[in-house]
Each structure stands twice: as structure tokens, then as C-alpha cells.
Amino acid sequence: MSTPSLLALDAVDAFYDRSHVLQALSMEVESGTVVALLGRNGAGKTTTLKTVMGIVPVRAGRLRFDGADVTGLPTHRIARLGIAYVPEDRGIFASLTVHEHLTLANVPDGWPLGRIYEAFPRLAERRDHRGTQLSGGEQQMLSIARALTLAPRLLILDEPTEGLAPVIVEEIAAIAGRLKTEGLTMLLVEQNYPFAARIADRVYVLGKGRIRWHGAPAALDADEEVKHTWLGI
Ligand SMILES: Nc1ncnc2c1ncn2[C@@H]1O[C@H](COP(=O)(O)OP(=O)(O)OP(=O)(O)O)[C@@H](O)[C@H]1O
Ligand SMILES: [Mg+2]
């Protein structure tokens, strides 16, 4: 018997009111792999992640996590299964310090503070800075670091490199590479194609709410038509 995927979407449909945004969307994230979901603005990438998190309801199709049907579960229960979500807006609290963000949760198997500060030296230096005093890159790091305190089995990142300077993108790439080496399963939404191609084991290309292509990053790199039509590259 083959091992089931950690996360599987099976012909998922999702709507905003009457607007049919995700159409028969199927994808799988196998344990220990990094999957990138790519697509242009408005393709439905964030909606896909919100559907996984139970923020946007699944109207048709099934959602499975670790072999169990989790379709329709509320967000807090999805989170408790071990899915940590770093949203596009990063969700940092203006008035809380770095340290407070990292000690809000008390999850026994989560990364301890020492390990977090070792992996994110910028956060260690700024442990007493409040959310409003952090740069975009620091906020992104804090959002990822906070997710790691939750002992995720699946880490979901929505455009972690958006709006960041190349040097900070490199730091995020190094952190993501380290997490991958440690065997953390990740689902990554990106518009930064080189970043995604570098870290992902498998890529899904989303266009107008449907999966248009999936395969290995090298195969996508060789497919000029898919890149041109669905990614605008
Ligand atoms: N809350 C909402 N209500 C109504 N329509 C929405 C809502 N959020 C998104 N949409 C629409 O759903 C479609 C998919 O949006 P989504 O945010 O999933 O795209 P995306 O691929 O994440 O884009 P981006 O790269 O710009 O973040 C778009 O047409 C968008 O306008
Ligand atoms: Mg988005």
C-alpha cells in the first residue's frame, strides 16, 4: 500500500458568494516534501490556502489531512491538527514584541525559543521590538518563526518573499532550505518563480481557479508555453 499524502485536495470547488473561484482543484502534498503553488495575480492561490485552513468553505470536493477527511472542519480544528498558516499579510501584532509573539503559544513539541533565535538571529537582536518597529522582512521572519513554535506538521506560506529586498529573500530562502532539510513538509504560494523553483520538489500551476500543470520544477523550467501562458514569464 502506498502512503497517503499528508494533504490532499480532491476536486475542490470554492466560491465567494456566486463567484466560482476554485474549480475542481486537486493537489497533493506528500510528507517531507515542499510543494509550490504558482500563478498570476488573482489565480486563486490565496483562496486555495484559505480553503485548506477552513477560512473559505469547500463547496464541493474533499479535503484530507494525514488520511482523515477534514472537509468542513473549522479553522481552529484544522490548526490543531498541525497545519500552520503564514498569511500574505503576515499577521503581526503592532503592540506585541518579538518575544511576546514567540511565547504566545505553549505547544509542547514546538521549537523552543533558543532554537528559534539561533535560526533567526535578526529576531534575537530585536526581541524587545514591537511589531510596528519591524521591517517587512523581519515581520515575515517573525511570522514564520511563530508558526514553528506551533510544532507544525505542515507549514503553509503565502508569498513569503513578496515585497522584500533580494538580500532578505536570500535569508528567507536559507531558512526555508533549512526547514526542508529538517524534513518539514511545506506548501508554498509564490510569484517569485526562481525562489519557488529552487526550493520545491513539486510545482502546481494555477490559472483562473484551475490546476493547469503540475510536475517537477525542472520540467516546468523547460516548458516555455506553460510559463508564458500561466505565469507570464
Ligand atoms: N474576499 C473576497 N471576496 C470576493 N472575491 C474575492 C475575495 N478574495 C479574493 N477574491 C477573488 O477571487 C479570485 C482569487 O483571489 P486570490 O486572492 O485567491 O488570488 P491570488 O492568486 O492569491 O492572487 P495574488 O497573487 O494577487 O495574491 C480573484 O478574482 C479575487 O478578486
Ligand atoms: Mg494571494
- Nearest alpha-carbon partner for 107 in 143, 144, 149: 149
pLDDT per residue as tens digits for the range 162-194: 999 999 999 999 999 999 999 999 999 999 999
Number of residues assigned to the chain? 233
CATH topology of domain 1-82+185-233: Rossmann fold (3.40.50)
Ligand 1 mutation target, pool 13, 38, 46, most atoms within 8 A of CB: 46
Residue whose CA is at the smallest distance from ligand 1 atom 6: 16
* Separation of alpha carbons 160 and 143, rounded Å: 9
Write out the residues surrounding ion ligand 2, Cβ under 5 A: 45-46
In this structure, which ligand is nearest to the CA of 52?
1
pLDDT per residue as tens digits for the range 135-166: 999 999 999 999 999 999 999 999 999 999 99
Q: DSSP label at 55?
A: S
Q: Which residues line ligand 1 (CB under 6 A)?
A: 16, 19, 21, 39, 41-47, 191
Q: How far, rounded to the nearest angstrom, does the alpha carbon of residue 29 sit from its chain's CA centroid?
A: 11
Torsion, Cα 221 226 229 230, to 10 degrees, reads -80
For the cut 90, the answer to whether the pLDDT of residue 108 exceeds it is: no
Q: How far is the CA of 195 from the centre of ligand 1 (A)?
A: 22
Give the nearest ligand 1 atom to 88 CA: 27
pLDDT per residue as tens digits for the range 62-72: 999 999 999 99
Q: How far is the CA of 73 from the centre of ligand 2 (A)?
A: 22
Contacts of 28-32 with C-beta under 8 Å, sequence gap 24+, read 29/5, 29/154, 29/185, 29/187, 30/3, 30/5, 30/6, 30/185, 31/3, 31/5, 31/6, 31/185, 32/183, 32/185
Average pLDDT, the chain: 95
